[in-house]
Structure 1
C-alpha cells in the first residue's frame, strides 16, 4: 500500500466507483482531486462538495496532470490521454478495487468471467445469507468495493463481482477465493480487438494469490485450463477446484455431474451433493454457475446442507432471462444483461420454443455469425435496434425468414407482438452494450419491461 498522507491523488472519472474511491481516500487522509471529461451528475457534485473534495468537469486541466498517482474508473479506457500521461511519466495508475483493497482486512471472494459473474455473485450472496455469514456484496454489481470498505465492518466476507476493466490496473489486489467462470470475446474494442489482451486482463485475478488461497475454475474452458497449467508450471498456483458439467473430473478436485447428480470431489474423495433437477435455475450455463457457487461456499467452509438449500432456492437476477409477462400466450423475456455473443448463445440454448429475438445496441467488435446455427434452429424473426443494426443485418438477415428493424424499444416490442404466436417467446438478448440509447443494461431492460407492460 502507498502511504497516501500528503499525497495529491487524481481520480479520473466521477461515476459511482470514482466517487467511492475519492471518498475512501479522503476519509483516510489523502488529498484528492476529481476530474471528468464529461458533465458530472448533480448528486455526485453535491457529495464531493459536502466532503470538501475539489473537482472539475467537461475536460481535464493542467491540475489533473499533477497528481502523485491516478485512480481510474472502469469506464475510462487505458488509452485515454490523461491515463497515458501518468503511465508515460512512470507514475502509478490504479483501479478503484485496488485502492479499496489497501484499506480492507476482510477475506475477498472475487468472481470474474465474460458471462455469469453477476448471477454467481448474487448466488454467493444468497448462499452467505442462508448460512448467516456476515458479508458485503460489491464491485461491478452496483455497489462499489470502496463503499463497502468504508463501512469498516470486521469479520465480514467481501463478495465481489470483478470486470476486466477493474483488473487492468491492480497491483496488490488479493482474493482469498477467486472464481474464473469463462473467457469468451467481449469488450474487444477496449483491448485493440485482441482477444489475448482481454483474456490476460481476466487472468490477473490470480496474480497475487498463493498456495494459501483458492482458485475455482471452469475445467471446460481451454483458455482457462491453459492459464491454470501455467500457474502450476511456475509453482505459484493457489489451491485448485475445477467445475464441469460436460465431463467427470479424474485428476482434479472440484464439482461435476454424473448420472444427473452433482458430485463434489474434495481431497480425492467423492460425495453426492444433490440431483441436478433440484437446481432451480434452468440451463447448462446456470448449472455451471451453481457448481462454481457450491465450490466457493465449500472453500469458505459453508456446509453442504446450506449449499443444497441455496442451489434449490436461488431464483436468478433481474435482466438475466427474466420472465416479464405472458400476453395472449406469448412470453416476453428480458435478457438485457446479455451484452456479448456468448451470453446470447447461452440464452438461445435455454429455449425450446420458436423465438422472436431483439438484438442490437452499441457494437463491441461482435461476430454475429457465431449465432447463426442457433438462430436457424430457433429464431424466425430478428428485430435489430441501435447502432449495430447495419452489422446485424449484414451478418444475419439471410439466416432468418423475417428480419425487421426498430428505432425504439417500444417499436421493437410492438413488432415482436405482431410476429410471435401463442406458445412462442419474444426475447430481448442484445449482444451489445446499451450506451447508444440507454444509461446501462438495467435502463434498457427496464424500458423493455415498460414496453411489454403497455401491451
Structure 2
C-alpha cells in the first residue's frame, strides 16, 4: 500500500471514479486536487465543493503537475500529455481501482474481458444475493470501487476494464476472471492486439498460489498467456471453462450437462438447457460465473438456482417491445464487432440490423458470414456509417443510411415482417450522438415505444 497521509495527490479526470477516488483519499488524510481537461458536471462539482476539495476544469494548469503522484480516471488515455508528464518525471500514476484496493482487506472478485464482463459481474451479484452473501458490485459498472470501500463489509465484485488495469501496482484479486480477448479499444493500445491482451492479463499480476485465475479455455490468445503464467513461480491456481472440450481443472460441458472438475474428480452441476440465458456466449458466461462462485465456496445448490433464475442485464440483448409480431431487441452495449457477432449468433430468424456510432478501428468484414445468413437489411447510423457502407454495403440485400435513432427505428419497421427481429447492435461507441451506451439504448426504446 502507498502511504497517502499528508501527500499532495492530483486526480486527473472528474468523472465518477475520479471524484470517488478524490473523496476517499481526502478521508484517508491526503491533500487532494482534481483537474479535468473538459468541463466538470454539476453533480461532481457539488460533491467536491461539499468536501472542500479544490478543482479545475477545461484544461490542466501548472497546479495539475504538482502532485507527489497522480490518480487517473479510466477515460484519460496514458498518452495524454498530463499523464506523460508524471511518467517522464518518474512520478507514479495509479488507477482508481488500485487506490481503492489499498484500503480494504476483503476479498476482491474481479472480472475482465472484451465481451460479457457486465453480464458476468451482474450474474455474480445475483449468485451472491441468492447465497445471501454480503458483497458490493462496483468498478466499471454502477458504483466506483472507491465509493463502496467504507460501507461494504463483504466481498467486492468488480467489473474492470483494461484501462483500469493499465495503472495498477498492488491490486490483487482473490479470484480473477478473463472471459475472452477480441479486438476492442485498439486505438488506446497502438493498434496492437498483443498490447491490449497484455493489459487485460495484468489482472493476474500480483496473484499467487493462494489466489485463483479463471479463464476461457477456448480462447487461443488467452491460452498463450496462460502458458506464460504457468512458468511464473508461485502462479495462481488455474481454473478453465470450456463448452468445446474437457478441462484439466474447472468447468466444461459434456452431453449438454455442465460439469465441475477438480483434482480429477467430476461433479455434474446441471443441464445446459436450464440456464436462464440463451446463446453460446451466455453458456460461456454462465460457466465463468459458476466457477467464480465455486472458488468463493458458494454451495452448488445456490449456484444452480442462480444460473437458472438470472435474466440478463439492460441494453444487452434486451427485448424492448414486440410490435405486430416483430421483436425489437436493444443490444446497445455491443460496442465492438465481436459483441455483434455473438448477438447475431443468438437468432435463427431474419434480422434487420442497426449498426454504427463512433468507430474504434472496427473491421466489420468479420460479420459478413453472419450477415449473409441472417440479415436482410442493414441500417447505418452515426459517424461510422460511411465506413460501414464501405465494408458491408453489398453484404445484405438492403442497405440504408439514416441520421437519427428515430429514423433508424422507422426504417426498420418498414422492412421487418412478422416473426422477424430488429436488432440494435451498434459495434461502436455511442459518443458521436449519445452520452453513453445506456443513453443510446434508452432512446432506441423510446422510439420503439412510439411505433
**TM-score, L = length of structure 1:** 0.98
4+ residue runs over 4 A deviation? none
Counting only pairs closer than 5 Å after superposition, residues 276-425 of structure 1 correspond to structure 2 as 276-425=272-421
Q: CA deviation at 1:200?
A: 0.7
Q: CA deviation at 1:280?
A: 1.2
State whether residues 255 and 262 of structure 1, in contact with CA within 8 Å, keep that contact through their aligned partners in structure 2: yes
Which residue does 1:79 correspond to in 2?
A: 79
Counting only pairs closer than 5 Å after superposition, residues 184-263 of structure 1 correspond to structure 2 as 184-249=182-247, 252-263=248-259
Which residue does 2:425 correspond to in 1?
A: 429
Gap regions ≥5 residues in structure 1: none
State whether residues 184 and 342 of structure 1, in contact with CA within 8 Å, keep that contact through their aligned partners in structure 2: yes
Which residue does 1:147 correspond to in 2?
A: 147
Q: Does 1:167 align with 2:150?
A: no
Distance 1:123 1:32 in 2: 36
Distance 1:44 1:180 in 2: 32
Q: CA deviation at 1:378?
A: 0.4
1:166-190 CA-partner distances (Å, limit 9, x unpaired): 0000000000000010000000111
Which residue does 2:40 correspond to in 1?
A: 40
Paired residue secondary structure (1:118): helix
Distance 2:26 2:233 in 1: 39
Q: CA deviation at 1:236?
A: 3.3
Q: CA deviation at 1:234?
A: 2.1
Counting only pairs closer than 5 Å after superposition, residues 27-106 of structure 1 correspond to structure 2 as 27-106=27-106
Paired residue secondary structure (1:399): coil
Q: Pick which of 240-249 and 337-346 moved more.
A: 240-249
Q: CA deviation at 1:235?
A: 2.9
Distance 1:353 1:396 in 2: 20
State whether residues 228 and 237 of structure 1, in contact with CA within 8 Å, keep that contact through their aligned partners in structure 2: no
Distance 1:433 1:128 in 2: 31
Distance 2:225 2:54 in 1: 43
Which residue does 2:132 correspond to in 1?
A: 132
Distance 1:125 1:200 in 2: 27
Q: Does 1:178 align with 2:142?
A: no
State whether residues 337 and 441 of structure 1, in contact with CA within 8 Å, keep that contact through their aligned partners in structure 2: yes
Gap regions ≥5 residues in structure 2: none
1:381-423 CA-partner distances (Å, limit 9, x unpaired): 0000111111100000010110001111000000000011111
Distance 1:45 1:107 in 2: 32
1:26-48 CA-partner distances (Å, limit 9, x unpaired): 01000000000111011111110
Distance 1:193 1:283 in 2: 30
Distance 1:47 1:258 in 2: 53
Q: CA deviation at 1:266?
A: 1.3
1:223-252 CA-partner distances (Å, limit 9, x unpaired): 111111111112332111100011122xx1
1:6-39 CA-partner distances (Å, limit 9, x unpaired): 2110000000000000000001000000000111
Q: CA deviation at 1:150?
A: 2.8
Which residue does 1:21 correspond to in 2?
A: 21
2:271 corresponds to which of 272, 275, 295: 275
Distance 1:118 1:329 in 2: 30
**TM-score, L = length of structure 2:** 0.99
1:139-176 CA-partner distances (Å, limit 9, x unpaired): 0012100001132x33x000000000000000000000
Distance 2:398 2:104 in 1: 54
1:265-317 CA-partner distances (Å, limit 9, x unpaired): 11210011111000010000000000000000110000111011001100000
What RMSD over aligned residues (CA atoms) do the two structures have, in Å?
0.7
State whether residues 110 and 161 of structure 1, in contact with CA within 8 Å, keep that contact through their aligned partners in structure 2: yes
Distance 2:88 2:381 in 1: 40
Paired residue secondary structure (1:426): strand
Paired residue secondary structure (2:393): helix
Distance 1:194 1:299 in 2: 33
Paired residue secondary structure (2:266): strand
Distance 2:232 2:286 in 1: 30
Paired residue secondary structure (2:218): coil
